[in-house]
Amino acid sequence: MRPMPPGVRIILIATIVSFMMQIGASDGMIGSFGLWPLQGHFMPWQLVTYAFLHGSILHLAFNMYGLWMFGSDMEYLLGSRLFLKLYFASVLSAGLMQVLVTSFTGGIYPTVGASGGVFGVLLAYGMFFPNRIIMLLIPPIPMPAWLFVILFAIIELVLGVTGTQAGVAHFAHLGGMIGGYMVIRRWRRRGRWN
């Protein structure tokens, strides 16, 4: 098994440390660094800082597992610099999508979590490794990465439109995927990857 690449390791450590600080600070960090809607307590830095905060230890664990699982192969392929560009472009686009959606829905609540960045990395994984087999946990069904990514996107869209699973930023997840796609498309147009 290859060692964890440096970009994934840096994000993982920074996110875990931020979560531990968040626990110690109670709601203070979420108030300043969580992503608020424009009609709330929005500040520009929140478009990035929200990704280092999490709602629970389980939320953190799932996101960091996804980052490690899909991000490691992406960083080995792209290199650390481009991997970090992909991740943070996905975080930023997820944040922008969430701000846009909350502007229309009128919800005044903060968004936290690295899911948008992880979803962008997941989309990239499906594009670069489409035929790799991914085993679902529940139910344990193997499927190619391209199908896994498409199913995940459809599920997020349906849950977002129907308002199912309240408290989850489904459109932010889709925004992260859009950001990942746009970055890869730009790289391909420039002839970096085909």
Asked if the structure places residue 63 within a domain, the reply is yes
Distance between CA 180 and CA 133 in Å, rounded?
Answer: 21
Asked if the structure places residue 56 within a domain, the reply is yes
Q: Is the Cα dihedral 26, 29, 32, 36 positive or negative? A: negative
Residues 6 or more apart whose Cβ sits within 8 Å of residue 22: 29, 30, 53, 54
Asked if the structure places residue 18 within a domain, the reply is yes
Share of the chain above pLDDT 90, in %: 63
Asked if the structure places residue 1 within a domain, the reply is no
Query: Domain containing 171 — which CATH number?
Result: 1.20.1540.10
User: What pLDDT score was predicted for residue 194?
Assistant: 52
User: What pLDDT score was predicted for residue 64?
Assistant: 96
User: What pLDDT score was predicted for residue 158?
Assistant: 87
Q: What is the pTM of this model?
A: 0.92
Asked if the structure places residue 95 within a domain, the reply is yes
Asked if the structure places residue 194 within a domain, the reply is no
Residues of the chain with pLDDT under 70: 26-27, 165-166, 192-194
The DSSP bridge pattern shows strands 133-135 and 142-144 to be antiparallel
Distance between CA 66 and CA 30 in Å, rounded?
Answer: 23
Asked if the structure places residue 156 within a domain, the reply is yes
- What mean pLDDT, rounded, does the chain reach? 90
Asked if the structure places residue 73 within a domain, the reply is yes
Domain housing 129: 6-189
User: What pLDDT score was predicted for residue 152?
Assistant: 87
Share of the chain above pLDDT 70, in %: 96
* Total domains present in the chain: 1
Distance between CA 145 and CA 156 in Å, rounded?
Answer: 16
